[in-house]
Amino acid sequence: MGRRLLLSGTALIILLTISSLAEVRSDSFKIVNNCLRTIWPALQTTGVTGQFPTTGFALKSGESKNISILTPWNGRIWGRTHCGQDSSGNFTCLTGDCGSGALECGGVGYQPPVTLAEFGLNSFEGLDFYDVTAFDGFNLPMLVVPEGTSRGTCGTTGIGCLVDLNGPCRKLLSVTRGDGREGVVACRNPFEYKYSDTPSLSPIFRQSLYLQFFKSACPRAYTEPFDDKIAVFTCDSANYIITFCPSPNTGKTTE
C-alpha cells in the first residue's frame, strides 16, 4: 500500500522542509460524485502538514462537497465504494477501505486497488504538485481539473483515469464482490499485483499483457514507476475540482 509516492526519498524531505517555511494560504477542493451510486470519499494527510477538516464522508450520486484547507498540505484523496456498517457498527468498504472501522479515516491510509489523487499544495517555490495514479490499481474513474491558476504546467487541462477499467479488467487482476453477486469492483495494476504470491505474473507477462491496458486507458496518470514526466503537474495557487465518474457512462455499477 502506498509503495509509490508523489515525491520520494530526499526530494520529498527537502520539499516538506520548504513547505513548512512557505507562506500560509487557503486552497479548496470541490469533490463531485458523478457516479450512479453513493461513494465515500476519503482524505489522508501525509508528512508534517496541516490537517483536513474531514477525513471521510458519504457523497450521494449527483452531490458535491467543497472543502477548504490551509496550505502547505500534502496528501491523497480517493473514493471508497460498496460501504456499510455491520451489526456491531463497524464501517467497511469493498474498495478503498482505510481500515479505521468508521466513516472518518482519521489519518489511516487506503487498501489497494484504488484510484488516487495526490497533492503537494504550496510546495516548492509556492507551486502545487499533483497527479492521479492507478499505480496501486483502479476502482473508480477520476478527473482532477485546476481552476484559477496562472503559473505552472497545468493550465486548465484535467488529468486522470477517465475510462471505467472494472468491466474490461482481466480476470486474473479482477476484484469481485465476494458475496456471491456478480460484478467486478476493482482492477489490480500489474505492478501493484506483482507483490502478491502469484508467480505466473513474470515481468514480461505483466508488461506485455496487462500494463498497456492501464497505460492506454489512463495516458495522463501514473500507471508504472518513473511516470513523473507525463503524470506530475504543477499549478500556482489553484483550486481543484475532483470528479468521480466524470463521464455519465462510467461507474454504472449498482449499490
Tell me, what's the pLDDT at 90?
96
On whether residue 14 sits in a domain, the answer given is yes
On whether residue 195 sits in a domain, the answer given is no
On whether residue 173 sits in a domain, the answer given is no
Question: What's the distance, CA 163 to chain centroid?
Answer: 14
CA distance 103 to 91: 6
**What's the average model confidence in pLDDT over 206-235?**
75
On whether residue 92 sits in a domain, the answer given is yes
Overall domain count for the chain = 1
List, for residues 178-188, the tens digit of each pLDDT value: 765 668 999 98
Higher pLDDT, 218 or 226: 218
On whether residue 187 sits in a domain, the answer given is no
On whether residue 73 sits in a domain, the answer given is yes
On whether residue 181 sits in a domain, the answer given is no
38-42, 150-154, 227-231, range with the lowest pLDDT:
150-154
Tell me, what's the pLDDT at 233?
86
Q: Hey, what's the cell of 254?
A: 449498482
Q: 211: pLDDT confidence band, cut at 50, 70 and 90?
A: confident
Average pLDDT over the chain reads: 79
- Whether residue 198 is predicted with pLDDT greater than 60 in this model: the reply is no
On whether residue 184 sits in a domain, the answer given is no
Domain of residue 69: give its range.
9-163+218-244
List, for residues 238-251, the tens digit of each pLDDT value: 899 999 999 755 55
**What's the average model confidence in pLDDT over 204-232?**
72
Q: Hey, what's the cell of 176?
A: 469481485
Tell me, what's the pLDDT at 180?
56
The share of the chain scoring above pLDDT 90, in percent, equals 40
CATH number of the domain that residue 19 is part of: 2.60.110.10
List, for residues 127-161, the tens digit of each pLDDT value: 899 999 998 899 999 999 998 765 666 766 678 88
